[in-house]
Structures are given as C-alpha cells and as structure tokens.
Amino acid sequence: MAKAISAKGISRDDIYITDKVWNTSRGYEAVKEACKKSLKKLKTDYIDIYLVHWPAAIKHHKDWEEINADTWRGMEALYKDGLVRNIGVCNFKLHHLEALEKTAEIMPFINQIEIHPGLPQSELIDYCKSKDIVIEAYSPLGNGKILQNETILKIAKTKSVSAAQICLRWAIQKSIIVIPKTVNKERLHSNINVFNFELSDSEMKAIDRIPYCGGIGIDPDEADF
Ligand SMILES: NC(=O)c1ccc[n+]([C@@H]2O[C@H](COP(=O)([O-])OP(=O)(O)OC[C@H]3O[C@@H](n4cnc5c(N)ncnc54)[C@H](OP(=O)(O)O)[C@@H]3O)[C@@H](O)[C@H]2O)c1
C-alpha cells in the first residue's frame, strides 16, 4: 500500500484511504497509537477515513459502553489533530450508536455494516439516515452466498444482467455505498457497471422479502475477537 501511495505520477489527493483500528487497540491512548503506526506504515500524513472495526462485544465486556466511548474519544482527537479526515464505525448496532450519542462530540460519519439481500438491516439503516450517518454495505453479495437465490436470478434474467449486479443495484437504490470484493477483472468491471438499469418498486420489494440465505453472519454483540 505504501508503495502504491508513493508511486510516481499519482497524487496523494487522488487516493482515498480507508483504514480501521482493530479490537486490540481499543481506548483513548491505544487508538491514537494504532493510527500513528498505520500512518508510518502507509508513509502518508493523513488517512481519509478511519473506522472502529468492531464495537466491544457485550458477551465479553460488561463495560462495553465505556470502552466504546473511550475509543471514540481517541477517534475524535485524531480528527481534531488532522491525522484523519473523517471518522466512523463498523458493525455498530442501534444500541451501540445510541450509547455513543450520550458522550460523542462528533457522531460517526459512516457506519460500515453487513447488508445484502436476506439481511436488509432496515431499522438500523433508518436510524443512521435519521442521524445523517452514511451507510456502507460490506459483503453486499452476501460473501458470494446469495448469488444462486431464485428471486435474484429471475430478476437478473429479465434485465440481462448478473445476479451480483442485481444485489449491488438493490443496495444503491437504497442510497447505500457498496464495497464488493473480487479478484477477477471481468467481475470487477461488471460490478461497477450498475448505473444503466433500474429496479422497479415491485422488484425492490421482492428482494426485500428474501429470507436470510447466508453471508458473514457475525453478530457484533457475540463476536469472540
Ligand atoms: N467491516 C467489517 O467488519 C467487514 C467484514 C467483512 C468484510 N468486509 C469488507 O467487505 C468487502 C466485501 O466483503 P466480502 O468479501 O465478504 O463479500 P462480497 O463482496 O459480498 O462477496 C465476495 C465474493 O463474491 C465473489 N464475487 C464478486 N463479484 C462477483 C460476481 N460478479 N459474480 C460472481 N461472484 C462474485 C467473490 O469471488 P471472486 O473474488 O472470485 O470474484 C467472493 O467470493 C471486503 O472489502 C471486506 O474487507 C468488512
């Protein structure tokens, strides 16, 4: 990554870097230290958006509220010091955000959560929208596990597009940012090519009704890491 950032002919301003603080660096001082280490490794003097990777899991931490609040104070300090241009969270459920709101000076700019057909997360999305928190969907293809779903395949066929394109378009029409992953160049191109067709209301609703059929499936309150 550092090599790509410092490559000749590419201006730093043309690269958007997202980085995350891992669970072993929770708390005011630790989060600041982790970010400074990342900046050193990346050989850059700012990160575009810095995210808390997981909230402290309720299963393991009775004091999860305090831990998250203290970690967030560290994030706010990094933002104020100009080392990160935006701050956000990942995997924060409604109760995590409501708790954070009690102490936060700055609310997260973004919440990166698992969203795909079968896991629409509607209540959390509505809450984030009401607080102007941008939603970013990770595993928008359900980690590849929903691409054989009958409803998705049927709609894909009528539109002459791929099942992956249907999943991505469904999220985009809900004003959600998507970050699909592929190591395949052709798939990368087709995953980007989702702005020349539209899903109708009835197609959107049919996809909304798909039951859970796979994904990463980690409940942030139960995570063992
Ligand atoms: N914040 C978090 O806690 C968190 C957790 C999990 C993931 N993420 C992030 O979310 C991103 C994506 O998540 P993900 O990798 O779990 O799942 P995903 O993007 O939903 O699915 C990736 C899988 O789908 C396949 N795929 C991609 N495009 C395809 C296409 N057009 N047709 C058929 N198959 C296709 C990929 O295989 P090929 O590569 O072979 O194409 C891969 O197996 C990653 O950048 C990851 O870092 C974040």
- CA 145 to ligand 1 center in whole angstroms: 10
Walk me through the domains of the chain, giving residue ranges and CATH numbers: 1-113 (3.20.20.100), 138-225 (no CATH)
Taking CA 51 as the corner, what is the angle to CA 171 and CA 18, rounded to the nearest 5 degrees?
75
pLDDT tens figures, 178-224: 999 999 999 999 999 999 999 999 999 999 999 999 999 999 999 99
**CB-CB contact of 104 with 74 (8 Å):** no
Q: Which two tokens stand for residue 142?
A: 């359900």
CA dihedral 184, 188, 193, 198 (to 10 degrees): 80
Nearest-atom index, ligand 1, CA of 51: 1
The atom of ligand 1 lying closest to the CA of 116 is 20
pLDDT tens digits for 111-163? 999 999 999 999 999 999 999 999 999 999 999 999 999 999 999 999 999 99
Rounded to whole angstroms, the Cα distance separating 88 from 133 reads 9
CA 121, chain centre distance (Å): 13
List Cα–Cα distances, 209 to 122, 150, 159, 206, 217, in angstroms. 12, 12, 19, 5, 18
Query: What's the 15 CA to ligand 1 centre distance in angstroms?
Result: 21
* Angle (deg, nearest 10), helices 150-159 and 163-172: 90
Question: What pLDDT is attached to residue 207?
Answer: 98
pLDDT band at 3 (very low <50, low <70, confident <90, very high): confident
- Give the closest residue (by CA) to ligand 1 atom 46: 138
Contact 42, 2 (CB under 8 A): yes
Provide the pLDDT for residue 2.
83
Q: Give residues (CB < 6 A) around ligand 1.
A: 53, 90-91, 112, 138-144, 147, 162, 164, 179-184, 187, 190-191, 216
Centroid of ligand 1 to alpha carbon of 63 (angstroms): 33
